[in-house]
Structure 1
């Protein structure tokens, strides 16, 4: 009929937005948005210090419906960055990652100057890609731990000279294969030369293995603990790598 108003005209509804971790821990108070039914509204994810946005349901611009809406924006803790200087460094230097301009980004990191050296990404599977942009490095997985290995040209030459499959050295089930390659590489030398070369190769293999054990151990620790409630405990365990490594060595003797 002429002059009849739509049924929901002037009626209002609301949407509540929650800012939580995947475990349901509230990172800030919920935001309640009240709008007339049929009107558009924005769901904006804020930057929360120490956390990154990993999941946002639906579009940012929504239409207020006839039923209330409850929306969860999921965040995860920012990960960490650790740099190892050469194959002998089993402690490394921790660099804190910070929030970037967007809720899902970390700020780029300027890596320490290392003349005539090269940075490589490294994890329990082996040495990965070389880092090209030293002035603005951004981890591929910023909510996890990222490890970088800084090598000189001599380090790289020595690694190539060993003819070791680094991926196998870093995998715990590849230790025996790596040892076989050490033996094969010394087959044509004298007994003393063969022993010296074997010792050198085994030392390099052990150093690589130590890095792998540390990475695996930290992964186990982080999976075993509630990262939100026991973060200080995790940080303490991860930072205390030397004792962790000594414990591992004792267990595998």
Structure 2
């Protein structure tokens, strides 16, 4: 399913249902577009949530200041962006019609997981079985359909009553790595406490659940009072404790990949 929504400003963004379609679109359309996973704000998301390949070409994030306001008038539209969106959908439709499923980069799921495990291994080695299952992950539509439904989630940051725009993430249980890397940058002297102020709670929109997160942003005022050395000492200890949360991330991913492996081996 190919969709266009709010093609009002350049650069345009391609929000795709899965990694395989995001990477395929990137190969066809090139670097003048931004690329991300699908969002609950678009009609394509109902297809994505059902495991169906879908994407939306849009500029909502850069037009949200005018969207559905009195300023949302034809004169505010960059018509070059609208024409560019039409061109993009036509290009993708042609590729899909000519190449079918071979157009989709199914191996992107395996590549993404391997990259995540490599980053996570700096803090806690992954189970050998998990690494083996990632290597053996099938690059086919049946597996990708399951992954679109089970490995993607719309994620919000902050408390549940805070305003914010959810963004779709693949394997969101590994977002804790971003927090650990931010803490490392501070400990190494390449980042200030102000960067850590951005680290908040994370939770999924559908089937609301809290994700592993450092959430030290709430403590930054206290860390300033503790001074540089006091903050460093606290964050060293916090880093060690946070790394243990990767056990939960590994276990969740291992359960999913075991399920996919068993399904693939089951006779049709």
Higher RCO (CA 8 Å, separation ≥ 6 residues) = 2
Which of these two proteins has the greater Rg computed from alpha carbons? 1
TM tier, smaller: under 0.3
Higher strand share: 1
TM (norm. structure 1) is: 0.24
